[in-house]
């Protein structure tokens, strides 16, 4: 066990990620998250959000010199300082451009199969029941949404659905979608019956148009943890970088949520 692996194990839980047969260790996901924190901070500053650390306003050059812990803290603090309408106002141009991008992408994909992406995640040190408790109660997810991934801006319940803004696949700008549970939605990802818990959802653009980006997550207990198949699909014309990027996005998101569950259950918050 090298120094990085030892440090990760000492945190009390393990988290393994495999995407298309390739292993992504936790330290690699952490490095990617750091890069996304810096990227999002630059984007926030570009649209006029004040970026500050301990009272000092940061320039773009200052942002580039933030260490990972400070980058995460400033990123979360800045994103959560805005309510949903504040984020919509801040990113008004980008949200309109993203919505048009999705419409054009779907028009170019008509009649073609969706592109799937799946991150296979193995977690030990957090039980299936513990994880299910927090997944079943949406309040913790809503509370921790920004902390779980730098590309998350807001989410809130909306008549049985979740409405939120995020950057899909670490590609392009923020997009607003409404995610509605639908156990019967067709997704080009095999249903594994050995995974007793699953979630399927349909994503729609703000006007209700189907974005053709369904989510499909499956969960299976282990003796000392659980396995997750975190899946999503995209229109046929979606860039390969976006599709592959969203598998990594999902891995970072579930790693963040696992940290929250572990801390809550161990009393180490």
Determine whether 28 is exposed, middle or buried from the number of CB atoms within 10 Å of its CB (0-12, 13-18, 19+): middle
- pLDDT tens digits for 59-72? 999 999 999 999 99
Region of 187 please: left (phi>0), alpha (psi -120 to 50) or beta. Answer: beta
Between the alpha carbon of residue 62 and those of residues 3, 9, 46, 56, the distances in Å are 30, 32, 14, 10
Residue owning tokens 């301990």 = 54
CA 141 to chain CA centroid, Å, is 11
**Contact assessment for residue 217 and residue 131, using Cβ atoms and an 8 Å cutoff:** no
Q: From the CB of residue 166, how many other CB atoms can be counted at a distance below 10 Å?
A: 21
Residue 168, pLDDT above cutoff 50? yes
Q: Which CATH class is domain 3-266?
A: alpha beta
CA terminus-to-terminus distance, the chain = 27
**pLDDT tens by residue, 121-149:** 999 999 999 999 888 776 767 888 999 99
Closest CA to 155 of 73, 83, 231, 230: 83
Q: Across-strand partners of 168? A: none
Per-residue pLDDT tens digits for 15-48: 999 999 999 999 999 999 999 999 999 999 999 9
Residue pLDDT, tens place only, 190-227: 999 999 999 999 999 999 999 999 999 999 999 999 99
């Amino acid at each position: 066990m090298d120094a990085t692996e030892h440090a990760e194990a000492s945190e009390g839980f393990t988290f393994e990620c495999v995407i298309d047969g390739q292993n992504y260790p936790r330290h690699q996901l952490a490095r990617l998250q750091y890069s996304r924190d810096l990227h999002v901070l630059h984007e926030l500053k570009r649209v006029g959000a004040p970026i500050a650390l301990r009272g000092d306003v940061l320039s773009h050059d200052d942002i580039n010199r933030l260490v990972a812990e400070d980058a995460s803290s400033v990123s979360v603090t800045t994103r959560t300082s805005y309510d949903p309408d504040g984020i919509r106002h801040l990113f008004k141009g980008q949200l309109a451009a993203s919505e048009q991008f999705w419409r054009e992408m779907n028009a170019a994909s008509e009649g073609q199969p969706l592109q799937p992406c799946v991150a296979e995640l193995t977690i030990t040190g957090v039980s299936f029941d513990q994880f299910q408790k927090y997944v079943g109660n949406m309040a913790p997810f809503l509370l921790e949404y920004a902390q779980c991934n730098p590309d998350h801006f807001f989410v809130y319940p909306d008549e049985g659905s979740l409405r939120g803004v995020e950057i899909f696949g670490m590609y392009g700008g923020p997009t607003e979608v409404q995610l509605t549970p639908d156990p019967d939605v067709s997704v080009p990802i095999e249903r594994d019956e050995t995974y007793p818990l699953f979630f399927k959802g349909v994503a729609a653009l703000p006007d209700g148009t189907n974005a053709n980006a369904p989510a499909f997550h499956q969960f299976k207990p282990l003796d000392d943890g659980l396995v997750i198949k975190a899946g999503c699909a995209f229109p046929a014309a979606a860039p390969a970088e976006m599709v592959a990027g969203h598998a990594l996005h999902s891995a970072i998101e579930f790693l963040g949520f696992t940290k929250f569950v572990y801390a809550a259950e161990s009393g180490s918050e």
